[in-house]
Each structure stands twice: as C-alpha cells, then as structure tokens.
C-alpha cells in the first residue's frame, strides 16, 4: 500500500478509522480513467502458445543445469 503525505491544512476531519482530506481540483483532474477494453481483447492471446513457451522454459532450465 502506498504512503501518502499531505499538508495539515488539507485535513478536514479524522477519527479512529478514517481521515477526510480536501484535495485540490488539479490533482483530481490529472487522474486518468483506465481503459480495460484492450486487456479484455488481449485475453487468451497466448493461451494457444502456452505449450511452446513452457517447452522453451524447460529447455532453458536444462541448459542451466
């Protein structure tokens, strides 16, 4: 989990479980939405090549031994 450092002026409230902060609009607008359509389209591309990849890895391991 990343550690986030903020200025004390940005803290609005704090209790035992949560901290509420006021983020600048510029920070929020920089956040990009992720497009998972390319990941979905690529799913399974290497599935039919798995046997060849595993054979290659096994050959490399034998060479190192």
User: Residues 14-50: pLDDT tens digits?
Assistant: 888 888 888 777 766 655 676 777 777 777 777 778 8
> CA-to-CA distance for 62 and 65, rounded, in angstroms?
5
Of residues 40 and 8, more confidently modeled: 8
Q: What pLDDT sits at residue 47?
A: 75
Residue 7 tokens read as 């200025």
Please compute the mean of the pLDDT values over residues 49-58 and round it to a whole number. Answer: 86
Residue that has been written with the tokens 């290659």 in this structure: 56
Q: What is the CA angle 18-24-29, rounded to 5? A: 105
Please compute the mean of the pLDDT values over residues 53-63 and round it to a whole number. Answer: 89
- The DSSP call for residue 54 is H
The SS3 call for residue 58 is: helix
């Amino acid at each position: 989990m990343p550690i986030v450092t903020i200025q004390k002026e940005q803290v609005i409230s704090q209790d035992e479980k949560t901290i509420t902060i006021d983020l600048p609009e510029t920070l929020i607008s920089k956040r990009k939405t992720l497009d998972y359509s390319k990941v979905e389209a690529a799913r399974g591309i290497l599935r039919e090549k798995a046997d060849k990849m595993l054979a290659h890895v096994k050959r490399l391991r034998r060479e190192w031994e």
